[in-house]
């Protein structure tokens, strides 16, 4: 398994309430889990009102980068990904 850190930032202008944000988070994670069930989420830390620092493991580098690619398909999210050696 390959480990990754991902910084995820939701763009606050796209949410009218905290419930909208929570629904968007749920929808994104459901989508990633359905597309890439082999990815294991290890830790999620809230670092700001719309920002998260997440660690996860994937079977290979390509799968890890697919997680970021799926995040990029949502217009209200910006994500950066780093592979941990």
Residue whose structure tokens are 């660690």? 55
DSSP 84: E
Q: Which CATH architecture has domain 2-84?
A: 2-Layer Sandwich (3.30)
Residue whose structure tokens are 């690619």? 69
Task: Kindly list the domain boundaries of the chain, sorted by start residue.
Answer: 2-84
Question: pLDDT by residue for the chain (85 residues), tens digit each?
Answer: 999 999 998 877 767 777 877 888 888 889 999 999 999 999 888 888 788 899 999 999 999 999 999 998 887 888 999 999 7
What pTM was estimated for this model as a whole? 0.84
């Amino acid at each position: 398994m390959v480990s990754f850190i991902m910084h995820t930032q939701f763009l606050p202008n796209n949410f009218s309430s905290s419930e909208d944000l929570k629904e968007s988070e749920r929808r994104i994670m459901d989508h990633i889990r359905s597309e890439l069930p082999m990815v294991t989420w290890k830790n999620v830390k809230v670092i700001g009102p719309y920002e998260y620092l997440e660690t996860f493991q994937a079977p290979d580098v390509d799968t890890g980068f697919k997680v970021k690619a799926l995040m990029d398909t949502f217009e209200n999210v910006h994500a950066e990904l780093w592979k941990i050696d």
